[in-house]
Amino acid sequence: MTWFEEKLYDHWRQSFKIGRVLFHEKTDFQDLVIFETPGFQRVLALDGIIQVTQGDEFVYHEMLAHVSTLAHGDARAVLIIGGGDGGVLREVLRHPVERCTMVEIDPGVIELCRKFMPDISRGAFDDPRAEIVIADGVKYVAETDRKFDVIIVDSTDPIGPGEVLFTEAFYASCRRILTERGVVVTQNGVPFLQPEELTTTHRRLSKLFPDAGFFVAAVPTYVGGFMTLGWASLDPSNRARPVEAIREQFTKLQINTRYYTPEIHVASFALPKYVQDLMTKE
Ligand code: SAM
């Protein structure tokens, strides 16, 4: 096999020239492959769908972690659903959170990403504030009696084990376990190619949260234009946090990012018209 072909869509495919396949096996939950490619270094694919690449993972992990945490402004308890590669965990732990709980269904993803792509988690799994739970995220949020300031749903697409993480029941459980100003952000696909996913998510989040919408990021290997990240909050003022306040808090962190800036944070909520139209589509 000299090319890895992603067949997420019937009419559109992307291929990566394979340098070396490092691992390929069916776990209890999904087909997992890690391969090297000249353009993006190492790549993780689950059930044939690109999940994370060393080349562009910073875009997505920085935006999920920093937009949610800096919009909230005082996040102490953070929950990650999915995220087995450890990239979001790494970025969240750059904030002075007290604890970051990660609920991942497939221990194989954690184990193999730690082994073959350790620079993505970069030691985050060993941070004393990190708590790793192996469980189905939909079950965890339905049963936990803990509360969280920020919930980050770093899931696969709504096929296979990730499907339950796009349901109204899941979002309702997330709302139940949020603190009073809580924020939820989600992986919500590429609307140009997955329009129904955006319309459905917006309908479900709007029913449950006073503030629901999306923000965008340009992730090269999530082909088809802007990727949308779902946004929901119990406090509408979180989304409107002024760039000056975000910049002041961000500067204090003394962290270097490669995509996120306070200005991109604010600008990312300005949606293209075709995305806005999908939000209101019946
Ligand atoms: N960046 C990727 C994307 O945008 O599609 C997501 C990457 S991350 C590897 C996705 C993770 O979600 C995987 O580790 C997968 O095992 C996990 N996952 C899928 N369904 C899950 C569920 N029901 N509960 C918890 N984790 C789940």
Dihedral, CA of residue 60, residue 239, residue 94 and residue 172, to nearest 10: -80
Mutation to probe ligand 1, out of 104, 166, 201 (largest number of atoms < 8 A from CB)? 104
162 ligand 1 Cβ < 6 A: yes
Reading the chain (282 residues) residue by residue, the pLDDT tens digits are 699 999 888 999 999 999 999 999 999 999 999 999 998 999 999 999 999 999 999 999 999 999 999 999 999 999 999 999 999 999 999 999 999 999 999 999 999 999 999 999 999 999 999 999 999 999 999 999 999 999 999 999 988 899 999 999 999 999 999 999 999 999 999 999 999 999 999 999 999 999 999 999 999 999 999 999 999 999 999 999 999 999 999 999 999 999 999 999 999 999 999 999 999 887
Q: Which residues contact 181 (CB under 8 A, 6 or more apart)?
A: 72, 149, 233, 234, 235, 238
Q: From ligand 1's centre to the CA of 161, what distance in Å?
A: 8
Token pair of 63, please? 């935006």
154 is catalytic: yes
91 ligand 1 Cβ < 6 A: no
Task: Give exposure, 126-140, as e/b (b: 16+ Cβ within 10 Å).
Answer: ebebbebeeebbbeb
Q: Return d(Cα 171, Cα 206) in angstroms, integer.
A: 10
Residue 90 and residue 97 in contact, taking contact as beta carbons nearer than 8 Å: no
Considering the candidates 56, 106, 154, 235, report the single residue annotated as catalytic: 154
189 ligand 1 Cβ < 6 A: no
Domains in the chain (CATH in brackets) are 3-53 (2.30.140.10), 57-280 (3.40.50.150)
Token pair of 239, please? 């989304």
Q: What is the residue with the minimal CA distance to atom 27 of ligand 1?
A: 82
SS3 string, 109-146, reads: HHHHHHHHCHHHHCCHHHCCCEEEEECCHHHHHHHCCC
Q: Which residues contact 55 (CB under 8 A, 6 or more apart)?
A: 39, 40, 41, 220, 221
Token pair of 128, please? 């004393």
Instruction: Report how far apart, in Å, the C-alpha atoms of 183 and of each of 29, 88, 140 are.
Output: 29, 15, 17
Q: Return d(Cα 72, Cα 241) in angstroms, integer.
A: 8
85 CA closest ligand 1 atom index: 9
234: left (phi over 0), alpha (psi -120 to 50) or beta: alpha
Q: What is the residue with the minimal CA distance to atom 17 of ligand 1?
A: 82
31 ligand 1 Cβ < 6 A: no
Q: What is the residue with the minimal CA distance to atom 16 of ligand 1?
A: 106
